[in-house]
């Protein structure tokens, strides 16, 4: 749980720097050819830009051993989760409340609890399964959820709710028997983006949008992909993802200065409000 009483001991810049240091020491390793493992070996632009981003990040310690793609993705998810939770906690005065995080399927939250029954019915009926499919319940990489508030909390500063009056019976924010947390944000993590790796994020996003009962949570993605043209495959367009966040956008802006095509695409994504830095994410989650 993200405590609402934690006093800030670090600035957001401190947390961002620590995030980068942890990524470098735990995930990044330099290939024998001299470029980092988040570059595409078949693309000179990718190799050059990734090396430039790493230089601007100012890291000095890197992994010495190779990681599998699965291990890399899992570590990136864990380090990004830690940064988001710590940074979001610092903004508690801007977005007060009790917040939780856990690795849970979306059916554990108020807007999607009905999906557990829907999926059960579909799985038991082959005809329904052939029509609708069975992938209703997804498990986001990172979640933030709001804990419903008790009547005592609601009336803490005065009688906002007269318990003798039969009102506010259905809002999920008011705690009652059987209440579930309210899904506030679903965050996907992609260490790199290849041509086939962005579609599952869009599919999950549309699942969250179409199958909700209640408000739509924030739906975002975080990546370390060095090529803006590949980030564009996920970031361009509207209607599914709120925005894409780069682990080191400011460093990426410097690294693409000598690549006109990539620089132009990066400018398009930033100016079009489709790409932001990881440090922007906790503020956007406070909206």
> Rounded to an integer, what distance in angstroms lies between the CA atom of residue 54 and that of residue 205?
30
Task: Give the pLDDT confidence score for residue 138 in this predicted structure.
Answer: 85
Task: Name the most confidently modeled range: 23-27, 63-67, 159-163, 206-210.
Answer: 23-27
Could you report the per-residue pLDDT of 84-97, keeping only the tens digit for each?
Answer: 999 999 999 999 99
Cα pseudo-dihedral 93, 283, 191, 199, rounded to 10: 120
Distances (CA, A) of 275 to 56, 198, 266: 19, 15, 8
Could you report the per-residue pLDDT of 139-160, keeping only the tens digit for each?
Answer: 899 999 999 999 999 999 999 9
> Rounded to an integer, what distance in angstroms lies between the CA atom of residue 138 and that of residue 117?
14
* Distance between start and end Cα atoms, the chain: 19
Higher pLDDT, 119 or 18: 18
Read off the pLDDT band of 4 (50, 70, 90).
very low
Among 116, 107, 118, residue whose Cα is nearest residue 145: 107
Q: In 3-state terms, the chain is what percent helix, strand and coil (to 5)? A: 45, 10, 45
Could you report the per-residue pLDDT of 70-87, keeping only the tens digit for each?
Answer: 999 999 999 999 999 999
């Amino acid at each position: 749980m993200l405590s609402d009483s934690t006093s800030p001991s670090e600035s957001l810049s401190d947390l961002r720097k620590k995030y980068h240091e942890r990524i470098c020491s735990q995930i990044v390793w330099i290939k024998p050819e001299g470029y980092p493992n988040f570059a595409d070996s078949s693309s000179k632009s990718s190799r050059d830009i990734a090396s430039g981003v790493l230089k601007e990040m100012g890291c000095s310690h890197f992994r010495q051993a190779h990681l599998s793609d699965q291990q890399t993705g899992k570590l990136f998810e864990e380090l990004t989760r830690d940064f988001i939770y710590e940074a979001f906690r610092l903004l508690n005065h801007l977005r007060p409340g009790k917040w939780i995080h856990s690795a849970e399927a979306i059916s554990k939250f108020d807007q999607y609890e009905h999906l557990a029954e829907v999926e059960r019915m579909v799985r038991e009926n082959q005809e329904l399964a052939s029509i609708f499919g069975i992938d209703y319940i997804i498990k986001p990489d990172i979640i933030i959820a709001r804990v419903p508030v008790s009547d005592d909390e609601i009336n803490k500063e005065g009688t906002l709710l007269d318990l003798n009056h039969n009102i506010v019976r259905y809002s999920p924010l008011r705690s009652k028997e059987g209440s579930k947390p309210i899904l506030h944000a679903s965050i996907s993590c992609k260490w790199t983006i290849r041509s086939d790796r962005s579609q599952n994020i869009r599919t999950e996003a549309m699942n969250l949008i179409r199958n909700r009962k209640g408000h739509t949570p924030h739906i975002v993605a975080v990546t370390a992909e060095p090529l803006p043209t590949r980030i564009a495959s996920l970031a361009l367009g509207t209607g599914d993802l709120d925005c894409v966040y780069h682990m080191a956008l400011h460093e990426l802006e410097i690294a693409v200065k000598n690549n006109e095509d990539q620089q132009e695409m990066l400018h398009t994504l930033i100016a079009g409000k489709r790409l932001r830095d990881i440090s922007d994410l906790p503020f956007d989650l406070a909206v």
